[in-house]
Chains A and B, each alone.
Chain A
Amino acid sequence: NAGVTQTPKFQVLKTGQSMTLQCAQDMNHEYMSWYRQDPGMGLRLIHYSVGAGITDQGEVPNGYNVSRSTTEDFPLRLLSAAPSQTSVYFCASSPPRQGKNYGYTFGSGTRLTVV
Chain B
Amino acid sequence: DQQVKQNSPSLSVQEGRISILNCDYTNSMFDYFLWYKKYPAEGPTFLISISSIKDKNEDGRFTVFLNKSAKHLSLHIVPSQPGDSAVYFCAASASYDMRFGAGTRLTVKP
Contacts and interface: CB of A to CB of B under 8 A. Distances in A.
B101 A104 contact: no
Contacts of A108: 41-43
11 contacts: A42-B102, A42-B103, A43-B89, A43-B100, A45-B97, A102-B49, A103-B49, A104-B36, A106-B43, A109-B41, A109-B43
Interface of B: 2, 4, 6, 9, 32, 34, 36, 41-47, 49, 89, 91, 95-103
Contacts of B98: 33, 45, 104
A40 B102 CA distance: 5
Given A43-B89, A45-B97, A97-B95, 20 more contacts: A31-B96, A41-B102, A42-B4, A42-B100, A42-B101, A42-B102, A43-B100, A44-B100, A45-B99, A48-B96, A58-B97, A102-B32, A102-B34, A104-B36, A104-B44, A104-B46, A106-B44, A106-B45, A108-B42, A109-B42
Nearest to A90: B43
Interface string A33-64: 10100001111110010100000001100000
B100 A35 contact: yes
Contacts of A102: 32, 34, 49
Interface of A: 4, 31, 33, 35, 40-45, 48, 50, 58-59, 90, 92, 97, 102-109
A-B residue pairs, 10 tightest by C-beta: A103-B46, A106-B43, A43-B100, A42-B102, A42-B100, A106-B44, A108-B43, A42-B101, A107-B43, A90-B43
Contacts of A50: 96
A25 to B, nearest CB: 12
Contact of A4 (B32, B43, B95, B100): B43
